[in-house]
Amino acid sequence: MTGRQTMERVIFGFAGAVLAAGTPAAVSEEKPTLRTVDIPIDGMACVVCAATVKKPVKSLDGVSKVEVSLEKRSARVTYATGRLSAERIVAAIDGLGYKAGTPREVE
Ligand SMILES: [Cu+2]
């Protein structure tokens, strides 16, 4: 290897290290904001209903957490606002044959 090639490799390696070091910051800037909502659901009568609602909602792109409460007749859903909207979650629940109400934001 010539001296020039060695120098190029050192410079390239340095630039690569800077790029790599910059990547996590860039990713965290683009990290989507998470939002949690309670969505009332009519029509859930048993634990099977709750599970029937939970699984497809959990599989929606952007959803990170789903808790379905049979007692409260509601679902608490945490999702990335850049990838999903509460309206789409409501539509998904309605599409399962239940009736989703107005989402209410949770602190
Ligand atoms: Cu049921």
d(CA 86, ligand 1 centre) in Å: 23
Phi-psi region of 7 (alpha: psi -120 to 50; beta: other; left: phi over 0): alpha
83 CA distance to ligand 1 middle (Å): 30
Structural domain boundaries in the chain: 1-31, 34-106
Q: Give the 3-state secondary structure of residue 36.
A: strand
Q: What is the pLDDT at residue 107?
A: 78
Question: Do residues 100 and 39 make contact, with C-beta atoms less than 8 angstroms apart?
Answer: yes
Q: How far is the CA of 73 from the centre of ligand 1 (A)?
A: 12
Element containing residue 97 per DSSP (H, E): none
Q: What is the pLDDT of residue 19?
A: 47
Report the pLDDT value the prediction gives residue 35, as an integer from 0 to 100: 97
Residue 61 Cα, ligand 1 centroid: separation in angstroms? 25
Q: Which residues pair with 67 in a beta bridge?
A: 76
CA of 52 to the centre of ligand 1 (A): 8
pLDDT tens digits in sequence order for the chain, 107 residues long: 555 655 555 545 545 444 444 445 445 556 779 999 999 999 999 999 999 999 999 999 999 999 999 999 999 999 999 999 999 999 999 999 999 999 999 97
The answer as to CATH 3.30.70.100 being correct for domain 34-106 is yes
pLDDT at site 100: 98
